[in-house]
Amino acid sequence: MPLLVTDAVVLHAFDYLETSRILRLATREAGVQSVIARGARRSRSRYGSALDLFAGGIAEIHTKAGRELQTLASFDVTHPRTHLALDLDRFTAASAISELMLRFARDDAHDALFDALIAALERVGDAAPGQATDAALAGAWHLVAELGFAPALDQCASCHAQLGDVEAVRFSHPAGGGLCERCAPLVRATRTLPADAIAVLRHWIAGQPGTLDGDGARRAHQRLLREFLQEHLTDGRPLRAFDVWEREHWGAA
């Protein structure tokens, strides 16, 4: 079997049989991969603490073409990110980021996407108290952009006319972004986004930080992101980690 050596992040993990674990990894060289870590639950496992959620490092994976479950040979952890599990806001935010990768990323190399994932997790981990949601929203929209389906904000998503500097834009999830005054009445399910919301979205899509003014704005942006992601999902399954992130954040407020 060819041996793949690659940067990797643990997105999801669950126990398998008595001693093993199955992981979903985001990798730089091969996109999202499912692997089995044999013996990972033994007290003297060669993996050590490397298989914790959100941990990053160097993975060695035995691969075989056409196989859905590859074999993890080793995982040398360099960024454990254990602090993400110590705070509910950070943990649920990071889980939502991981779910986005699991549901939309493919099994091919994408350096910029992997870098965007690392940046998102680091920003969530470094966020000041109360700012984890802003960091996760920024990271999620940057991932959406690298995945190739960022919303149109500067041009009409329908006719491609320039939107220009306006006080508000009609936004449609099915259309894929902002709409001009001529197209907005012809498209179903639109909502109005004020200029400040459009401005912060532009920053986030470009991979730049941006903060929101108050919990009302955070709630609105979480809802906007969830609805946009659901519009682009094709399998009909709910975004469970995203729902927990949204619900737990406001339940604790």
For the segment 66-124, what is each residue's pLDDT rounded down to a tens digit?
A: 899 999 999 999 999 999 999 999 999 999 999 999 999 999 999 999 999 999 999 99
Q: Indicate whether 33 and 122 sit together in one domain.
A: no
pLDDT tens digits, one per residue of 201-220: 999 999 998 888 889 999 99
**Is the residue at 245 inside a domain?**
yes
Name the phi and psi angles at 121, rounded to 5: -65, -40
- Stretch (H or E) spanning 34: strand 31-37
SS3 label, residue 19: coil
Q: Indicate whether 205 and 139 sit together in one domain.
A: yes
**Is the residue at 182 inside a domain?**
no
Q: What CA–CA distance (Å, rounded) separates 64 from 33?
A: 12
Q: Indicate whether 59 and 99 sit together in one domain.
A: no
The model's pTM: 0.92
Q: With left for phi above 0 and alpha for psi between -120 and 50, is residue 36 left, alpha or beta?
A: beta
**Is the residue at 105 inside a domain?**
yes
Provide the residue range defining the domain that includes 119: 83-150+191-251
pLDDT tens digits, one per residue of 25-34: 999 999 999 9
Q: What is the CA radius of gyration of the chain?
A: 20
CATH code (residue 74): 2.40.50.140
Name the phi and psi angles at 84, rounded to 5: -65, -25
Sign of CA dihedral 200, 157, 172, 244: negative
Q: Indicate whether 12 and 60 sit together in one domain.
A: yes
